[in-house]
Chain A
Amino acid sequence: DAGVIQSPRHEVTEMGQEVTLRCKPISGHNSLFWYRQTMMRGLELLIYFNNNVPIDDSGMPEDRFSAKMPNASFSTLKIQPSEPRDSAVYFCASSTEGENTEAFFGQGTRLTVV
Chain B
Amino acid sequence: SQQGEEDPQALSIQEGENATMNCSYKTSINNLQWYRQNSGRGLVHLILIRSNEREKHSGRLRVTLDTSKKSSSLLITASRAADTASYFCATGRQGGKLIFGQGTELSVKP
Q: Interface residues, chain A, CB within 8 Å of chain B?
A: 4, 31, 33, 35, 42-45, 48, 50, 55-56, 59, 91, 93, 95, 97-108
Contact = CB atoms under 8 A, between A and B. Distances in A.
A100 B48 contact: yes
A98 B92 CA distance: 10
B79 interface: no
B99 interface: yes
B71 interface: no
Contacts of B98: 33, 45, 48, 93, 95, 103
Interface residues of B, number: 26
B42 A42 contact: no
A97 to B, nearest CB: 7
B95 interface: yes
B31 interface: yes
Contact of B30 (A35, A50, A100, A108): A100
A54 B68 CA distance: 32
9 contacts: A42-B102, A43-B88, A44-B2, A48-B97, A56-B95, A95-B98, A99-B94, A100-B92, A103-B45
B95 to A, nearest CB: 6
Given A45-B99, A95-B98, 12 more contacts: A33-B98, A45-B100, A48-B96, A48-B98, A50-B95, A56-B97, A95-B96, A99-B30, A99-B94, A99-B96, A107-B42, A108-B42
B96 A45 contact: no
Nearest to A103: B98
A55 B95 contact: yes
B43 A98 contact: no
Report, nearest first, the 7 A-B pairs whose CB atoms are least far apart.
A105-B42, A102-B45, A43-B100, A42-B102, A105-B43, A99-B30, A100-B31
